[in-house]
Amino acid sequence: MKIACASIFLLQCFLLLLALASASSSAATTPSRYESIRALDENGQSKQLQHAKQAALQHGTLILAVKHANETIHIVSVATTSPHRRQRPLAVVHTITPNTFLLCSGVQADARWLIDKLRQLHLQMQVRYGSSGAGWAQRLSSLYRAVFWGIPDDSNPWQHTRWLELERWGRPLGVQSILIEQKQLCAIEPSGGIMEPDQPVVAIGRHSADILRQWRSSSDSDSLTEQVRVACEGISPRGTVLSIAQIGTDVSWQMTL
């Protein structure tokens, strides 16, 4: 009886060792699958860029830039509603040059990095050429792309971002931007894509796509306040306080939806 039990035990041990050896051999011959963070899906889209845009929308605030027929530009943004703070616009207009302005919506740390690099670039070009010139949309786009894709800028002399110390991140910037240069508007996506508006308004941040769709129906009004009210109707919550300011002046006011 003892001999039979011992034989069964030895047989079980042998089968277990055989199974382990087979699994080890299979693991050794099957290479592990590595997927780059810059890989594209079956539709040619980058999941990382999709996540970056969602982060910009989720963590960002609504900002609109509206250009009028007389070339004036107004910035519309959500104002703080904390009872412990004086209401002020959440959107900050960053001056890059006397005729170039930047607004960012999204992950604040990424926005600060982006603004800092643009200002470094402006100073370096001032030192080298005495002027930073035009073409800031392309330079901004280049910064977005260089961080994620690592695309060199040597082929484009306008961008000059090769002078900056740019480390390639493991993710794209979670920021959308509005650039105003020589009174021309455009938006920059986390992919670095430059979005030229088909109407005299650009929007970034939360609910921006929905508000742009409704803007067309509000364009018949002569009042900017009424245009904004119609565009935000049913999208932004009632009671939301919006700040409206004219670029380059101290003119500003607030409205409540």
Q: Which domains does the chain have, with CATH numbers?
A: 47-256 (3.60.20.10)
* Predicted local distance difference test score (pLDDT) of residue 252: 85
Of residues 73, 66, 92, 70, the one with CA closest to residue 248: 73
- The DSSP code for 243 is E
* Predicted local distance difference test score (pLDDT) of residue 202: 92
Instruction: Give the whole-angstrom CA distance, residue 16 versus residue 98.
Output: 76
Which pairs with CB-CB distance under 8 Å and at least 24 residues apart come from 190-197?
Answer: 190/49, 190/52, 190/53, 190/56, 190/106, 190/144, 191/46, 191/49, 191/144, 191/145, 192/141, 192/142, 192/143, 192/144, 192/145, 192/148, 192/149, 193/141, 194/137, 194/138, 194/141
Q: pTM (2 decimals)?
A: 0.74
Instruction: Give the whole-angstrom CA distance, residue 32 versus residue 34.
Output: 6
Residues 55/56/60/63 CA torsion (nearest 10 deg):
-160
pLDDT in tens, the chain (257 residues): 555 555 555 555 655 666 656 655 544 444 555 455 555 555 556 778 888 888 888 778 889 999 988 889 999 988 765 555 555 556 788 888 888 999 999 888 888 988 888 888 888 878 777 776 778 888 888 888 877 776 555 555 444 555 566 666 667 888 899 999 988 999 999 888 898 888 889 999 888 888 888 887 766 667 888 888 888 888 888 888 888 889 888 888 888 88
State the alpha helices, DSSP H only, in the chain: 2-29, 47-59, 108-129, 136-148, 208-218, 224-232
Position 254, amino acid: Q
Q: Is 36 left (phi over 0), alpha (psi -120 to 50) or beta?
A: beta
Instruction: Give the whole-angstrom CA distance, residue 37 versus residue 39.
Output: 6
Instruction: Give the whole-angstrom CA distance, residue 17 versus residue 138.
Output: 63
* Predicted local distance difference test score (pLDDT) of residue 101: 92
* Predicted local distance difference test score (pLDDT) of residue 185: 93
* Predicted local distance difference test score (pLDDT) of residue 157: 45
Percentages (nearest 5) of helix, strand, coil residues in the chain: 40, 20, 40
Check if the beta carbon of residue 194 is closer than 8 Å to that of residue 186: yes
* Residue 17, token pair as written in the block: 């060792």
